[in-house]
Amino acid sequence: MAKEIIIAIDPSSTSLGYAIFIDGILNLEDGYGCIKQKQKVLVEQRVLNITSEIWSILKKLKNKRCKKTIVCEDAYVGQSINGSKPNYRIQGILIGLSEVIGADIHFVYPSHWRKVLNMQQKGLKRNDYKPISVAYVKNKYGIDVGDDTSDAICIGDAYLLEKKG
Q: What is the pLDDT of residues 37-60, one digit of tens each?
A: 998 999 999 999 999 999 999 999
Per-residue pLDDT, 3: 94
pTM given for the model: 0.94
Looking at the predicted structure, is the pLDDT value of residue 80 above 90? no
Round to whole Å and give the CA distance between 69 and 79: 31
Judge whether 136 and 119 are in contact, CB under 8 Å.
yes
Per-residue pLDDT, 56: 96
The DSSP secondary-structure symbol of 73 reads E
DSSP helix/strand/coil, 87 = helix
Instruction: Quickly count: other Cβ atoms within 10 Å of residue 141's Cβ.
Output: 16
Q: Spell out the residues 6+ positions from residue 139 whose beta carbon is closer than 8 angstroms to its own.
A: none
Lowest mean pLDDT across 2-11, 58-67, 83-92: 83-92
165: pLDDT confidence band, cut at 50, 70 and 90?
confident
Cα dihedral 83, 85, 88, 89 in deg (nearest 10): -130
Per-residue pLDDT, 83: 67
% pLDDT > 90, the chain: 80
Higher pLDDT, 138 or 123: 138
Per-residue pLDDT, 59: 95
Round to whole Å and give the CA distance between 84 and 74: 11
The DSSP secondary-structure symbol of 122 reads T
Cα distances (angstroms) measured from residue 22 to each of 34, 53, 74, 104: 18, 20, 22, 15
pLDDT tens across 62-79, in order? 999 999 999 999 987 666
Judge whether 109 and 119 are in contact, CB under 8 Å.
no
Q: Spell out the residues 6+ positions from residue 96 whose beta carbon is closer than 8 angstroms to its own.
A: none
Distance in Å from the first CA to the final CA of the chain: 25
Q: Report all structural domains of the chain as residue ranges with CATH numbers, in order of start.
A: 4-164 (3.30.420.10)
Per-residue pLDDT, 125: 85
